């Protein structure tokens, strides 16, 4: 059991809220730019997260310019 039952709802919320501020990996934007430079017009973003949170991440990180969810 994670935390041996010692995690509060606030603890869990704190961790989950942190996902909303995670940055993209440093090589993501250059890789997507390189694909676009070679004529690839669309990159599909795969995620275990919900579509809404994935779209928010792509928008926040600037990666939404060359992707579709």
Model pTM above 0.85: no
Q: Per-domain residue ranges for the chain?
A: 42-69
pLDDT tens-digit readout, 6-35: 888 899 899 888 888 899 999 998 988 888
Please report the pLDDT score of residue 24 as a whole number: 92
Please report the pLDDT score of residue 41 as a whole number: 75
Phi-psi category of residue 5: left, alpha or beta, with phi > 0 → left and psi -120 to 50 → alpha: left
Q: What percent of the chain has pLDDT over 70?
A: 87
Sign (positive or negative) of CA dihedral 64, 22, 24, 42: negative
Task: Report whether pLDDT(67) > 70.
Answer: no
């Amino acid at each position: 059991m994670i935390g041996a039952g010692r995690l509060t709802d606030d603890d869990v919320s704190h961790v989950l809220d942190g996902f909303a501020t995670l940055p993209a990996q440093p090589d993501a934007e250059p890789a997507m730019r390189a694909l676009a430079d070679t004529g690839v017009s669309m990159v599909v973003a795969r995620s275990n997260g919900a579509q809404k949170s994935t779209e928010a991440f792509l928008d926040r990180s600037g990666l939404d310019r060359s992707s579709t969810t």
